[in-house]
């Protein structure tokens, strides 16, 4: 029997899965690539394609940050889907990944959810990032790059206090399990309306109620987050009053729970 963490067995499993889905038609499994985003762009097959790598050597996240998987311990994948407004794409991606991961983390009694705009984080010895998303355009499609830390245990110094993995959280999922669950959840969210996406995002939002510093263009604002909406942005209660920060421009610089506030198990904080 093929080890589910051995990518050589992934094509048959993933092809069997997408036969029952309406959003994807083709799967490309690469032993190694610099980036699944680059591979999807280079070998463009149109919307409905999925690119997955056993190992990614030069992946990237938002704002040019590095997201490599040199040891082949995480998930590196790109979904090629029809282009729509970026707010919709980011919301769909965040919700799909959260739905794939958060219930399993909560079963392990670990609070987890979405940190604006589309990182999936968990609280375990502080806030730890376990998944990230990058949305880029190419021809008439969107390339939705997704990275998930699955088996990772060792981190470079700059990530040692901010990153973690599903295995470190006590989960025994394989990389194939994670890829399959994300595809299943994308199927569930791809046709959600704006209001349905807003409600689903709110269920997984971790930022509301926190004290945050958020940058809009080159200006930083600090205060308590009163609400987060993937379409209208972040509502921040500052010393100067309520400030609505544009979703296209908002960048979370820092955030933490107010002193004495405990996380709500029903909402991950």
pLDDT digit string (tens) for 121-174? 998 777 889 999 999 999 999 999 999 999 987 777 777 777 889 999 999 999
User: Topology of 211-256 in CATH?
Assistant: SH3 type barrels. (2.30.30)
pLDDT bracket for residue 68 (50, 70, 90): low
Q: Which helix (H) or strand (E) holds 257?
A: none
pLDDT bracket for residue 63 (50, 70, 90): low
Lowest-pLDDT range, 69-73, 170-174, 204-208?
A: 69-73
Q: What is the mean pLDDT of the segment spanning 81-89?
A: 89
pLDDT score recorded for residue 261: 47
Q: Looking at domain 7-204, which of 3.30.930.10, 3.20.20.150, 3.40.30.10, 3.10.20.740 is its CATH number?
A: 3.30.930.10
Higher pLDDT, 155 or 232: 232
pLDDT score recorded for residue 266: 41
The Cα 91–Cα 201 span in angstroms is 7
Lowest-pLDDT range, 54-68, 152-166, 203-217?
A: 54-68
pLDDT bracket for residue 62 (50, 70, 90): low
pLDDT score recorded for residue 1: 42
Does the pLDDT value for residue 84 go beyond 90?
no
Higher pLDDT, 157 or 34: 34
The CA distances from residue 29 to 11, 62, 184, 267, in Å, are 6, 23, 17, 35
Domain ranges of the chain: 7-204, 211-256
Residues 6+ apart with CB under 8 A from 80: 40, 44, 45, 46, 47, 48, 49, 50, 51, 138, 141, 142, 143, 144
Q: What is the mean pLDDT of the chain?
A: 88
* 124 and 116 Cβ atoms separated by less than 8 Å: no
pLDDT score recorded for residue 260: 45
The Cα 38–Cα 232 span in angstroms is 31
């Amino acid at each position: 029997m093929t080890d589910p963490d051995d990518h050589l067995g992934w094509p048959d499993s993933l092809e069997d899965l997408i036969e029952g889905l309406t959003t994807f038609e083709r799967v490309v499994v690469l032993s190694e690539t610099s980036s699944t985003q680059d591979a999807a762009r280079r070998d463009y097959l149109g919307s409905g394609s999925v690119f997955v790598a056993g190992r990614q050597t030069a992946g990237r996240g938002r704002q040019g940050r590095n997201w490599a998987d040199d040891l082949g311990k995480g998930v590196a994948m790109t979904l090629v889907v029809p282009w729509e407004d970026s707010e919709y794409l980011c919301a769909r991606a965040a919700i799909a990944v959260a739905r794939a991961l958060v219930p399993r983390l909560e079963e392990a009694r670990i609070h987890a959810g979405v940190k604006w705009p589309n990182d999936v984080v968990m609280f375990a010895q502080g806030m730890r990032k376990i998944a990230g998303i990058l949305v880029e355009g190419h021809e008439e499609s969107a390339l939705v790059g997704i990275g998930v830390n699955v088996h990772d245990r060792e981190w470079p110094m700059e990530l040692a206090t901010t990153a973690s993995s599903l295995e470190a959280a006590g989960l025994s999922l394989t990389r194939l399990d994670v890829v399959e669950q994300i595809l299943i959840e994308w199927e569930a969210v791809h046709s959600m309306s704006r209001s349905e996406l807003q409600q689903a995002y709110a269920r997984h939002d971790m930022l509301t109620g926190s004290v945050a510093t958020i940058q809009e263009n080159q200006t930083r604002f600090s205060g308590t987050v009163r609400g987060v909406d993937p379409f209208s942005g972040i509502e921040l209660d500052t010393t100067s009053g309520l400030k609505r920060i544009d979703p296209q421009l908002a960048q979370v610089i820092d955030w933490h729970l107010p002193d004495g506030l405990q996380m709500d198990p029903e909402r991950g904080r």
